[in-house]
Amino acid sequence: MIAFFKNILSEIETILLKPADEFKIIGEALKEKGIITEGQLNAALELQRVQLLTNGKTKQLGMIVTDQGYASEEEVIQAINDYYKISVTSLTDNIKELVGKKRGSFIDRLPTPRIPIWLQIFATTSLVVIITILMLNSIILGRQKEQLYQQTVKIGMVSLNYFEGNSRIPLLQGDMLRLNTLIKDTPTEEALLYAFIVNQDRKIMAHTDLNMIQTEVNQYSNPGEVTKKGDISYFSYLNQDKEQILNLSKPVIFKGKKLGEVNVGISIDFINLLIKKERASIITVTLIILFFGIVIAVLLGFRFSRPISQLVKATQEVGHGNYQFKLETKRNDELGNLAKAFNQMSEDLWKKSLMQESFGKYVGSEVLELILANPENTWLKGHKNEATILFADIRGFTSYTDSRTPEKVVEGLNKYFDMATQAILNNGGYIDKFIGDAVLGVFGVPVYHKNHIERAVRAAVELNSELQNYKGIGHNLITSVGIGIASGVVIAGNIGSEVKMEYTVIGDCVNVASRLNELAGSGDVIITKLIYEKISDIISVKQLTPRKIKGKSKPLDVYKVLDIKKVSDAKKGK
């Protein structure tokens, strides 16, 4: 027994410690492509075995290779894809399954069979019905067969007792006539085939077959096990016609002396015939029950599978962005409740998508992702941060509106706002607000960039360029825009009442940007000395006369931006 358990433990340990299938998959690919050496592969496998024995689980071989610094994840993925001609995007993908579908056996490449719910219910119901009927058939028919057999034995015993009680005196006197009369006149059951009485010498004195009188008792063919109940013995055998007979015998005793023996033979084939008839009836009933069971199973299967199929379709529709897809909710059960809950969920998702789309128009995708990822983060609260403010508005807007229809004014204003928005968002800022014909753009909050000053100036130059290009192709658009830019510490956060709030910035540099905007002429970008000093290496400017602005005790050194060096998109995104 100890040796047996040792063998079992040894086999388990062999299974746990043998190289996994991924050794052949990932390890083979990495070695073939020269990504890792044989020694590094063995070290990774050893670490995998240790993790498995210690923790009961382990990382994938490819992850261990990257963790140990033998290769980068990109190199591992590329090696696997090149070697097996598959498309792995991450080490968390089921690489074994992908390789199996590509290079596995015919069975491995076969798709996993899809079994509908109605078919599963049908098969399960049919199996339960068949097993139940078979068990009942076996139990009931077995008990019935045993009861019939015992009843047959009782009939035989009654006949034996009758013959034994009335054959003593004739058998003692050797009166064969009375004995045969006894046998002949006795009412017998239909299944009683024969009865005979023998003397002490085993000669037949009386028999239902007269030809058997005065003959020796024949040997029985293949007699079964002899059973005794008191002084009665019985066993079964086959006669010449292959009929199964139950033979019962009882000695004839008179004053303690055995005078002979009484035998009766009863056919027990009728029991099998009755059982066959009962079995046929049960099979018929089984088929009827199975038919109705199949019908009910199919109906139930369709009743439950259709709502689930609709739910799958609805999930796919919602996954594709169709939040208006609705499920029927006529059912008054759990599936009906599930449909109602799904419809409510899709409606909530639709509302949320509208909110995201609308909010995204105000803050831009980068800020929106930050807000959605951390909706309760500190960006909601007031906090100080360095930022750069861009303030732009139209020169001569009042005269512009006086000479045009309201429709033309709104059309031109919207185009101007669209250009301003794109320029600000393209450079990593967000639109704080529109104030009449003015645009307030913010760089550096809530998403902080070290080069927020450069981003703001580039946005201003880009906006001016877009406006001039649009004007140059003959469109009647508001293109006389002045821009002021200032940088400094601002307080950013949600400001307002419980009814209406907005995320905005306040601070001295906001006011300065607004005042610089007032100084700017059409197409001018006016900046402070601080901004010039921060990015003087990439911009060319014209220094203007120091200006006195409201709120400042001393005149400010201001500059007009003439040009800014171009940078690659990669550098702009830093």
Residues 395-408 as b/e (b if ≥16 CB within 10 A, e otherwise) read bebeebbeeeeeee
The CATH number for 222's domain is 3.30.450.20
* Same-domain pairing of 459 and 373: yes
The pLDDT value recorded for residue 103 is 56
Would 188 be classed as within a structural domain? yes
* Same-domain pairing of 202 and 91: no
Would 292 be classed as within a structural domain? no
Structure confidence by residue, pLDDT tens digits, 499-547: 777 778 999 999 999 999 999 988 899 999 999 999 999 999 999 999 9
Q: How far is it, in rounded angstroms, from Cα 46 to Cα 290? A: 58
The pLDDT value recorded for residue 358 is 60
Q: Which two tokens stand for residue 21?
A: 């299938």
* Same-domain pairing of 94 and 208: no
Helices (H), 259-396: 269-319, 334-363, 365-373
* Same-domain pairing of 452 and 556: yes
* Same-domain pairing of 87 and 189: no
Question: Which of 239, 274, 309 is the last residue in one of the domains?
Answer: 274
The pLDDT value recorded for residue 478 is 65
Q: How far is it, in rounded angstroms, from Cα 179 to Cα 163? A: 9
**pTM (two decimals):** 0.45
* Same-domain pairing of 88 and 201: no
The pLDDT value recorded for residue 490 is 94
Would 56 be classed as within a structural domain? yes
> Is 65 strand, coil or helix?
helix
* Same-domain pairing of 171 and 77: no
Would 346 be classed as within a structural domain? no
- Residue type at 196? F
Nearest one of 441, 433, 443 to 535, comparing CA atoms: 443
Question: Which of 274, 299, 319 is the last residue in one of the domains?
Answer: 274
Would 551 be classed as within a structural domain? yes
What's the number of CA atoms in the CB half-sphere (13 Å) around residue 122? 15
* Same-domain pairing of 99 and 196: no
Would 347 be classed as within a structural domain? no
Three-class secondary structure assignment of 371-427:
HHHCCCCHHHCCEEEEEEEEEEEECCHHHHHHCCCHHHHHHHHHHHHHHHHHHHHHC
Place of tokens 């689980």: 57
Would 295 be classed as within a structural domain? no
* Same-domain pairing of 105 and 198: no
Q: List all residues 6 or more positions away from 123 whose beta carbon is below 8 Å from its beta carbon.
A: none
The pLDDT value recorded for residue 469 is 83
Nearest one of 125, 71, 152, 89 to 300, comparing CA atoms: 125
Q: Which two tokens stand for residue 469?
A: 């290009």
Question: Which of 224, 255, 274 is the last residue in one of the domains?
Answer: 274
CB 187 within 8 A of CB 196: no
Q: How far is it, in rounded angstroms, from Cα 391 to Cα 489? A: 16
Q: How far is it, in rounded angstroms, from Cα 196 to Cα 261? A: 8
Q: How many helices (H) and strands (E) does the chain have?
A: 20, 14
Would 359 be classed as within a structural domain? no
Q: How many domains does the chain have?
A: 3
The CATH number for 476's domain is 3.30.70.1230
Place of tokens 């078979």: 134
- Residue type at 67? D
* Same-domain pairing of 72 and 180: no
Structure confidence by residue, pLDDT tens digits, 356-386: 666 655 555 555 666 666 665 555 567 889 9
What's the number of CA atoms in the CB half-sphere (13 Å) around residue 21? 8
* Same-domain pairing of 21 and 155: no
What's the number of CA atoms in the CB half-sphere (13 Å) around residue 510? 15
The pLDDT value recorded for residue 374 is 62
571-574, Cβ contacts within 8 angstroms, sequence gap of 24 or more:
572/427, 572/455, 572/458, 573/428, 574/449, 574/450, 574/451
Domain, as residue range, for 406: 364-572
* Same-domain pairing of 379 and 456: yes
Place of tokens 């098969």: 123
Q: How far is it, in rounded angstroms, from Cα 389 to Cα 29? A: 54
pLDDT in tens, the chain (574 residues): 444 444 444 443 433 334 444 455 677 778 777 888 888 888 888 887 777 777 666 777 778 888 888 888 888 888 878 777 777 777 776 666 666 665 555 555 555 566 776 677 777 877 887 888 788 778 888 888 888 888 888 888 888 888 888 888 888 888 888 888 888 876 555 667 888 999 988 898 998 888 888 888 877 777 888 888 888 898 888 887 788 888 899 999 888 888 999 999 888 887 778 878 888 887 888 788 778 877 877 777 777 777 777 877 888 887 777 877 787 777 777 777 888 888 888 887 777 776 666 665 555 555 566 666 666 555 556 788 999 999 999 887 877 777 788 888 888 888 889 999 999 999 989 898 899 889 999 999 888 889 999 999 999 999 998 888 886 554 555 668 999 999 999 998 878 777 777 778 999 999 999 999 999 988 899 999 999 999 999 999 999 999 988 888 889 999 999 999 886 543 544 4
